[in-house]
Amino acid sequence: MTSKTAVAGLVRISRPLHPRIPRTSLPRSQRASLHASPSLQIVKPFILSDVGEGIDQVLLCQWFVQPGARVAQFDPICEVQSDKASVEITSRFDGVIKKLHFDVDDVVKTGQALIDIDVNEEAAEKLEAEVNESPVQSGEQTPFQSSPTTSSAKEAIEDTSPTKRPMSKNFASNGSLATPAVRHLSKELDINISEITGTGKDGRVLKEDLQNFASSRKSSSSTTAQSVRPIPTQSGEDKVVPLTGIAAHMFKTMTKSLTVPHFLYTDSIDFTQLNELRQRLNSHQNTLDPQKAIKISPLPFIIKAVSMALESFPTLNSHLDASDVNKPKLTHKAAHNIGVAIDTPSGLIVPVIRNVQSHSISSIATEIKRLSELARTNKLAPSDLSGATFTISNIGSIGGGAVAPVIVCPQVAILGVGRARAIPAFGSEGELVRREEAVFSWSADHRVCDGAMVARAGELVKSYLEHIERMVAGLR
């Protein structure tokens, strides 16, 4: 006999009411079975909360749990990736996983249920409050309104064994532990990641595992090809690749930039004196503490020089609101929050160095190192990726000279830095000298910036970098 109670759209199922049986009437093994740990009794949906920054959907990268698994508070449930960063979702309650609502690589919208979890009454009330605050998307049935909920609750009562269940075939094939960057690489190498035995922590598949697998496969195919070389009969098939994660975010951002009338200004900067100073600074740091020394590249000097120039040209450090073409608004930003474009295995990411006007050259170098390490491991927080007032793209770290960078709305300007190259030049007395020069390419929004403004700002940055003593004199 079973009693049911309806609570806020749920079916609460109490423990079976067994008739009283004399203790001595059953063997010991049967008496023990009557005391098996009961289910937590309430099955609730675990809702994907708002991840911030106006993000309304994420890509499910991997599951860390499976149906039947018992989890504690703060245990990882899954990993999701938004347009900007990768985030681990952790459990806020103790309970038993009853159902996974999505597969790996599915898109999950804010307010949708990720899992059904069997929890105690207090935790259920908290989850119910979250459901009321974050309604499920229209047109989709909530997990606790459908009849299978009753079945799930019954399963929770019937199956109370604490032993782990074997991983399902679907989980094994789609839920291999790997970072988004490794998954991206597996797609490029056309490798089914479920075939790889990971050597990382908890069986996590590493980049080296994919490379070793690809090398062994290539070696095997080469041996076969030497014996039989079939003539190809077709060139292959086209493949449709959906844009997700960072690629999708870049598509949206650059589409908005199509409305901006760009103009380009370029100039060459002499890095000779700057590089001599850098070499002395790096040598000095190595003598003090080689292990803690951070190698200073030209980029921290460039960022600081731009910040100093923005003091004189505040329009370049602005946000433009052009939603109403009859009443556009330009906001001069007090803080110099400079975004630095970084190339990662997952794509282009632009973390932000905040309040550059208050940083020293050394502290800027330290911040670049910190953000670069987080970006390449997909561990940047949403706050690290928002609020930029000006952007610098150091494309020269890869190659190239002049470039036409694209403005990121609502910013009004961006600077692209090319690779420094050694060139022959004439000295002050006509002698032939060796110089190191890089091309600086400025793009600006011609609706609020004119060529003279950008040229003057560029000349000021040039004077700071070619005559370091002027930058030192202007530091605060």
Per-residue pLDDT reduced to its tens digit, 52-84: 767 788 888 899 999 999 999 889 999 888 877
342: three-class secondary structure by DSSP:
strand
Report all structural domains of the chain as residue ranges with CATH numbers, in order of start.
4-174 (2.40.50.100), 180-216 (4.10.320.10), 256-474 (3.30.559.10)
CB 261 within 8 A of CB 446: yes
What's the pLDDT at 126? 63
Residues known to be catalytic: 446, 450
Q: In whole angstroms, give the CA distance from residue 260 to residue 412.
A: 9
Distances (CA, A) of 430 to 138, 249, 425, 427: 76, 52, 9, 5
pTM (global) more than 0.75:
no
Per DSSP, the residues of 265-324 read: EEEEEE-HHHHHHHHHHHHHHHHH-TTT-----HHHHHHHHHHHHHHH-GGGGEEEE-SS
29-43, 57-71, 297-311, 381-395: least confident range: 29-43
pLDDT greater than 90 at residue 464? yes
More confidently predicted of 447 and 9 = 447
Amino acid at 260: V
Q: In whole angstroms, give the CA distance from residue 202 to residue 183.
A: 17
83-92, 270-279, 364-373, 440-449: least confident range: 83-92
2-6, 138-142, 227-231, 308-312: least confident range: 138-142
Per DSSP, the residues of 180-198 read: HHHHHHHHHTT--GGG---
Q: Where are the alpha helices (DSSP H) in 81-237?
A: 121-133, 148-158, 169-174, 180-188, 207-227
Per DSSP, the residues of 377-395 read: TT---GGGGS--SEEEE-G
Mean pLDDT of the chain: 79
What's the pLDDT at 23? 42
What's the pLDDT at 125? 66
What's the pLDDT at 290? 73
The answer for residues whose C-beta is within 8 angstroms of residue 65's C-beta and 6 or more apart is 71, 75, 76, 77, 78, 97, 100, 115
Helix (H) / strand (E) element for 46: namely strand 42-47
What's the pLDDT at 442? 98
| Residue 415: Cβ within 10 Å count | 26
Q: How confident is the model at residue 19 (pLDDT cuts 50, 70, 90)?
A: very low
Q: In whole angstroms, give the CA distance from residue 318 to residue 257.
A: 16
| Strands 57-63 and 347-349, bridge-based pairing | unpaired
Point out which residues pair with 4 in neighbouring strands.
Answer: 13
What's the pLDDT at 132? 57
**182-207 per-position pLDDT tens digit:** 777 888 888 888 778 888 777 778 88
More confidently predicted of 75 and 12 = 75
Name the token pair of 390: 């000006």
What's the pLDDT at 162? 38
Q: In whole angstroms, give the CA distance from residue 436 to residue 291.
A: 29
Q: Mean pLDDT throughout 248-277?
A: 92
Name the token pair of 183: 């998954």
